[in-house]
Structure 1
Amino acid sequence: MSNGFAIYESVVPTLPMLAFLSVTLGKQIAASQLSNTERRYLTYIELQAERLPRSELQKLLRSDSETERNSAVSMDEVFLVLKGICLCANSTLHFGVDKSLNYLTQMRVFKDIQAHSNLHAKARSVIFIMISWICMLYSATELKEPCHLRIDSSQHANLNTPIREVGASEYSICELIPQYGSLLPVKSLPVDYYAKETFDTLKVSLLNANTLVRIGGLRIQWVNNVSAHLSLDMEQKSLMIFAMPTFCDLHRFEGTIFEKIISGYYDQYSKPDRFSSIEYLREIRISYRLLFADDWRAYRWYRRIAPSSVETLGLFDSYLDELSKPLSSSTNSYSADTDFPILGSRLIDLQNYIDRQNPGTIVMLWRDRRDMLRWYTFWVVTIIGGLGIVIALLSAGLAAAQVYYAIPSGA
């Protein structure tokens, strides 16, 4: 897993890359000051861009004569498009796909394609995909015909629909995303005062990855969007975990493009208490400690499965190792209200699910460490009771043998 850093260090930042990163983070980025965190993000964007057919992007950027000469689209040009989308987001109240397309056309990044209906639909689809790389609020599928606004249903739980017509791109991105389903956490219902303590406590013994997999029978599904993090898909019996916490670290400050885009997502009724982009990303970061770091069995399990996240991103985010590594001091519980005011409802649902599971075999009973007092009590009673029964049987056998040999052979 450590060889992930070699990949990041091999990135040679170009001016368009640095310009894109500067607009995304809301601060000036110089090549000499590029951190490993920023390199990881640029590498991720590059890998996603490699999956986008350059021939299709070529039709949007090039004139017909240039296309005929097979003038290839460079990675720098991809970053110029991404920069234009970010500039549009910063300068527009209701940022969305169509407004980004108009902005790119006005800035002559895209050629004028209004008269070409097929190209117009394709451009909308491409921009929808690129916005997903920038904000990581949803996971878009690869470009395919016919052109629609598609999100990957395997990377989200409980979708209403994974597809919207390209005409929906007239909506702002924060109006468009909810049309697929409730992706981000919403405001929880009020909890009765006397029940608050029960609902507030999040136990590491119930929520660590080892328990979730071995007792809960859940499959860890790595995803490349922040919206699905800690979502429980009961149909697939899978728990979705964000595979790139580098994004959370990179956007932990004010003034980022993520903060700008997500600011228009909620209304006054659905917005969780104390919600902010910074708080949401902070909760995602500390959730890795709850899942992997606070229980040694969970960390041992993490070391085995973490490389599978590569299948989602195309690379391993080594920041996962840093967040999941056990600390000198660990905790047995967290507070849903204090530590996870936004993601707390998802963790409570997950905890309730685990609490309802009953081990069905002796092996499962041995692995079930959700309640250590109950575990010790059960096995002490079982072992002592079992030994008592064995001793009693041996005593009875010995007594029978004594009686047998005490009776005269003639009798």
Structure 2
Amino acid sequence: MQCDKEADWDAQFLPVWNKVKDLVLVPEPKTIDGITDTLVQHDILSVKDNYEAHQSAKELVFSILGWQTMLYKPQTTSCTTGEFNILDETDKHQGEARLRLSQSSVSGKYDLPSFLLGFGMMLPPPQYCAFDDTDDRQLFNVTKQIVAKELNAHILTKICGVKIQWVDSVSCHLELDRQSGSLPWATENDVTELLREVLLSYRLLFGQSGRSRSLFRKLQPFARIPHEGHDPFLPLICGRKDFNCPITLVEREEYDVAGDFPHLRSRIVRLISYASSKKPRSIRQLWQDKRDSTTWLAFWSVLIFGEVLIVFGSRLN
């Protein structure tokens, strides 16, 4: 029975999957409607002049595009035929990558860059500024470096109160706030560079900090996922100090925002701004916050020295 299911999968689904991939790579404008029509013309999909079947075929193409690009997760359980729906991976937060979760069937006629913009800024181009406010845009322009010890998962969670949420879609990575903009269609190099930045950001936020690596192990990102769905790569890149990545990643103590994170620049700047605005509010947070090592050492030296003087003075009296 299992062999029969695998044979059906190979015979029915894989040809559709592979043809969609080939059509997307063709260097000319592409639409979901156009891809669907091509699949029907080549007898890869059969709709038999049935309107609902044709709409379902378009939804299948839409789903395959999401799975192949990892830009979104299609909502495959929707009861509304003809609409293009994506899953909410950010707990109803409408950030720049998720301005809306649904589009009508009419949007299938638009070229893919315009179609994707209907959901939000899923694939930011290099040096894209997502800020509308003048002060925020100025912050974007003046922020040049990232100091690894000042921006990591430990600082964001323990000092800034950020709740880390794991997502499957690349477009939601490092999403923190709501912005929108325009999107040129990405080249193959753009996609490769974005994926490299995502991996490097994992090293920045987790791998380069001992406390952040410990935090990652406590987060248990695969706690509710069956074992076969676990990603063996994530614990390596986030949970180990020394890690041999198949893609060349240059780790630094200080990163150049524009050079090291051109696609994620806006989101990195937003995180830096948010983290720098948060100050310790308790003795425990003061102990955990070592972003300014000189101030941290001076504070605790004075505190400990003062305690010693008080104890010593009380004994003399």
Structure-2-length-normalised TM-score: 0.80
Structure 2: runs of 5+ lacking an equivalent: 244-249
The aligned residue for residue 316 of structure 1 is 230
Q: Which of 57, 62, 84 is the matching residue for 1:123?
A: 57
Partner of 1:46: none
Whole-Å separation in 2 of the counterparts to 1:337 and 1:296 = 26
- Do the aligned partners of 1:201 and 1:336 also contact (CA within 8 Å) in 2? yes
Residue matched to 1:388: 309
Aligned to 2:270: 349
2:84 maps to a residue whose letter is L
Letter of the aligned partner of 2:212 in structure 1?
A
Question: In the TM superposition, what is the alpha-carbon distance from 1:220 to its structure 2 partner?
Answer: 1.5
Deviation at 1:184, TM superposition (A): 2.6
Q: Does 1:83 align with 2:18?
A: yes
2:210 pairs with 1:266? no
| SS of residue in 2 equivalent to 1:220 | coil
Distance in 2 (CA, whole Å) between partners of 1:83 and 1:145 is 27
Q: Does 1:170 align with 2:100?
A: no
SS class of match (2:156): helix
- Work out whether 1:373 is the aligned partner of 2:312: no
Given residue 73 of structure 2, which amino acid in structure 1 is its aligned partner? Answer: S
SS at match of 1:202: strand
Report if aligned partners of 1:222, 1:312 keep a CA contact under 8 Å in 2: no
- Structure 1, unpaired ranges of 5+: 1-13, 15-70, 235-263, 399-411
Alignment partner of 1:153: what SS? coil
Which structure: larger Rg? 1
Kept in 2, the 8 Å contact 1:309–1:316? The answer is: no
Gap change, CA 1:382 and 1:227, over 3 Å in 2: same
Give the direction of change, closer, same or farther, for the CA distance of 1:380–1:312 in structure 2 (3 Å limit): farther
Partner residue of 2:176 out of 220, 223, 232: 232
Taking the aligned partners of 2:6 and 2:241, their CA distance within structure 1 comes to 47
Deviation per CA, 1:67-89: give whole Å up to 9, x if none: xxxx9982212221111211222
- 1:332 matched to 2:253? The reply is yes
Structure 1 residue matching 2:166: 3-state secondary structure = strand
Deviation at 1:96, TM superposition (A): 2.4
Residue identity in the other structure for 1:281: L
Q: 2:177 & 2:223 partners in 1: Cα distance?
A: 18
Aligned to 1:107: 42
> Are residues 220 and 152 of structure 1, via their aligned partners in 2, closer, same or farther at CA, if it must alter by over 3 Å?
same
Give the corresponding residue for 1:364: 285
Distance of aligned partners of 1:139 and 1:206 in 2 relative to their CA distance in 1, 3 Å threshold: farther
With 91-100 and 345-354 compared, the bigger mean Cα shift is at 91-100
Does the CA-based 8 Å contact 1:310-1:316 persist in structure 2? Answer: no
Contact 1:222–1:309 (CA under 8 A) maintained in structure 2? no
Matches of 1:152 and 1:285, distance apart in 2? 23
**Cα 1:371/1:72, change in 2 over 3 Å:** closer
Cα offset, 1:277, TM superposition: 2.3
The Cα of 1:337 is off from its aligned counterpart by 2.1
Change in Cα spacing, 1:369 to 1:317, as seen in structure 2 (3 Å) is: same
What secondary structure, in the 3-state scheme, does the structure 2 residue paired with 1:334 have?
strand
- Higher mean alpha-carbon deviation, 309-318 vs 330-339, is at 309-318
Once residues 105 and 334 of structure 1 are traced to their aligned partners in structure 2, the CA distance between those partners, rounded to angstroms, is 49
Residue by residue, what CA displacement relative to the aligned partner does 1:159-217 show, whole Å, maximum 9, x if unpaired? 322111112111122111101122332523899xx989961110112221111111121
Counterpart among 7, 14, 28 of residue 93 in structure 1: 28
Give distance in 2, aligned partners of 1:177 and 1:119: 23
1:134-173 alignment to 2 at 5 Å? 134-147=68-81, 148-155=83-90, 157-158=94-95, 159-173=98-112
Distance in 2 (alpha carbons) for counterparts of 1:198 and 1:168: 38
1:108 Cα deviation after fit: 0.8
Q: 1:305 to 1:312 in 2, by over 3 A?
A: farther
- Work out the CA distance in 2 between the residues paired with 1:92 and 1:98: 17
- Match of residue 216, structure 1, among 152, 155, 160: 160
**1:327 partner letter:** D
Residue 311 of structure 1: how far off its partner (Å)? 4.2
- Deviation per CA, 1:244-281: give whole Å up to 9, x if none: xxxxxxxxxxxxxxxxxxxx9517xxx8xxx7222222
Residue 224 (structure 2) pairs with residue 285 (structure 1) = no
* Rounded Cα–Cα distance in structure 2 between residues aligned with 1:310 and 1:375: 39
TM-score, L = length of structure 1: 0.63
User: Is the CA contact 1:231–1:346 (under 8 Å) kept in the aligned structure 2?
Assistant: yes
**Change over 3 Å in CA distance of 1:353–1:320 after alignment to 2:** same
Alpha carbons 2:121, 2:183 under 8 Å: kept: no
In the alignment, what sits opposite 1:299? 213
SS in 2 for 1:338: helix
Please give the alpha-carbon distance, in whole angstroms, between the structure 1 residues aligned to 2:227 and 2:16: 21
Provide the C-alpha distance between the structure 1 equivalents of 2:288 and 2:51, rounded to a whole number of angstroms.
60
Tell me how far apart the structure 1 counterparts of residues 116 and 224 of structure 2 sit (CA, whole Å).
Answer: 26
Alignment: residue pair count: 291
Percent identity over the alignment? 25
Cα 1:91/1:313, change in 2 over 3 Å: farther
Q: Deviations over 1:320-352 (max 9, x none)?
A: 233232139964221102211221221111011
- Relative distance call for 1:132 and 1:117 in structure 2 (3 A) is same
